[in-house]
């Protein structure tokens, strides 16, 4: 089987691989770039696996005039910037010792050993610079069938790095055929070893959850996470039942992890997922909007067009109500509205009295669904 695409023919990519090959080394694309090329989806990151040691990669790349950054040299990875394109070049590795968070690796010369330490069969596919695909572990049928399956023994793969539990659900959400259902062996191993999530950094957990929630339809994967008690480990109290109706209501081109996170709720998402201050404010505003009595127009005024629309969608899905007719038009009206009164309009008042009066007038304006005019409010 062959792969193609503009990315593989990039002059810098071809020159880097050719330099490694000319020096007697293998240079194989691996992981997401091969997977996505075979699926016909966008390729972004370029990962190259090689039997050349990091120092050798650096020497050969610099000889070609490329810039080299030792991003993960202790683990065998250097970033090579070839004709303005970054490439993560990693020496073939095999695991020597793992603790569920970090791995002690040794360099290898056999691509099959490198493939055996990867997480899922669909990620253990390689291709050379001519586009020829190599499948050391027989993962190609899984990719064609869109079946997310661990390499070898699922429990062993998870014990090597417990983040693979979350990656299993994330890859299921993004790549699995929904008609196949989730891989039973993988799901059972995730359920059995779910307590290993407690030892992961919240930053890593949060990053995985954002990616999972950004999938076109994360509802089945989230339901499986809840069933296996994994979701409770990540975000205690989270309930994914409203995500499926939310996905049904959402614009197809606008999947948004924040909107989906607001739908599932849960205890202390800011701490458990290490959200930024801006993310925490957005999430709090959306959660508050779900139970508020604000009209769609008021939500648009308070939250802006995008988040006001999110709030309307969330309210309908979480409260199991139909989306109100013309709700989005009302959100747009609210987002475009401007409170018609300024402090300068309140003559005869000074100091704190001005703020108090402005808040009173604003409350009247909001109660009118943003319809009262300046004359109405000052009359």
Tell me the C-alpha to C-alpha distance, in Å, between residue 247 and each of 6, 128, 259, 263, 340: 33, 39, 10, 10, 36
Eight-class DSSP state of 73 = G
CATH number at residue 121: 3.30.460.10
- State the total domains in the chain: 2
Show which of 83, 114, 145 is a domain's final residue.
145
**Does a structural domain hold residue 292?**
no
| Predicted confidence (pLDDT) per residue in 368-377, tens digit | 999 999 999 9
Show which of 114, 145, 176 is a domain's final residue.
145
Whole-structure pTM value: 0.92
**Does a structural domain hold residue 366?**
yes
Write out the residue range of the structural domain in which residue 82 sits.
Answer: 1-145
**Does a structural domain hold residue 310?**
no
Residue-wise pLDDT tens for the chain (379 aa)? 899 999 999 999 999 999 999 999 999 999 999 999 999 999 999 999 999 999 999 999 999 999 999 988 888 999 999 999 999 999 999 876 565 455 566 888 899 999 999 999 999 999 999 999 999 999 999 999 999 999 999 999 999 999 999 999 999 999 999 999 899 999 999 999 999 999 999 999 999 999 999 999 999 999 999 999 999 999 999 999 999 999 999 988 889 999 999 999 999 999 999 999 999 999 999 999 999 999 999 999 999 999 999 999 999 999 888 998 999 999 999 999 999 999 999 988 889 999 999 999 999 999 999 999 999 999 7
Q: Kindly state the percentage of the chain with pLDDT values over 90.
A: 89
**Does a structural domain hold residue 170?**
no
Show which of 116, 145, 174 is a domain's final residue.
145
């Amino acid at each position: 089987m062959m792969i193609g695409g503009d990315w593989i023919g990039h002059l810098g990519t071809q020159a880097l691989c050719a330099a490694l090959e000319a020096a007697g080394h293998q240079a194989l694309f691996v992981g997401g770039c091969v997977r996505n090329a075979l699926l016909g989806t966008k390729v972004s990151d370029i990962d190259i696996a090689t039997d050349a040691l990091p120092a050798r990669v650096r020497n050969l790349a610099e000889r070609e005039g490329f810039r080299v950054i030792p991003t993960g040299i202790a683990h065998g990875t250097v970033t090579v910037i070839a004709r303005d394109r970054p490439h993560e070049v990693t020496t073939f590795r095999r695991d020597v010792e793992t603790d569920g968070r970090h791995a002690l690796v040794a360099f290898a010369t056999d691509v099959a050993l490198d493939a055996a330490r990867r997480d899922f069969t669909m990620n253990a596919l390689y291709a050379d610079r001519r586009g020829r695909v190599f499948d050391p572990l027989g993962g190609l049928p899984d990719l064609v069938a869109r079946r997310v399956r661990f390499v070898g023994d699922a429990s062993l793969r998870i014990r090597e790095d417990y983040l693979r539990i979350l990656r299993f659900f994330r890859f299921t959400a993004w790549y699995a055929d929904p008609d196949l259902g989730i891989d039973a062996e993988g799901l059972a191993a995730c359920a059995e070893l779910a307590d290993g999530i407690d030892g992961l950094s919240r930053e890593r957990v949060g990053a995985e959850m954002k990616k999972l929630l950004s999938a076109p339809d994360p509802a089945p994967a989230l339901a499986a996470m809840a069933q296996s008690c994994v979701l409770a480990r990540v975000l205690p109290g989270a309930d994914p039942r409203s995500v499926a109706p939310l996905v049904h209501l959402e614009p197809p081109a606008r999947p948004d992890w924040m909107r989906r996170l607001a739908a599932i709720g849960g205890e202390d998402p800011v701490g458990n997922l290490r959200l930024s201050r801006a993310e925490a404010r957005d999430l709090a505003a959306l959660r508050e909007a779900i139970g508020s009595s604000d009209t769609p127009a008021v939500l648009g005024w308070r939250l802006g067009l995008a988040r006001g629309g999110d709030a309307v969608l969330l309210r309908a899905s979480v409260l199991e109500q139909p989306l109100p007719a013309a709700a989005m038009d009302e959100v747009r009206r609210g987002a475009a509205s401007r409170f018609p009164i300024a402090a300068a309009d309140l003559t005869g008042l000074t100091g704190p009295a001005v703020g108090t009066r402005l808040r009173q007038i604003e409350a009247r304006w909001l109660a009118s669904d943003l319809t009262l005019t300046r004359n109405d409010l000052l009359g």
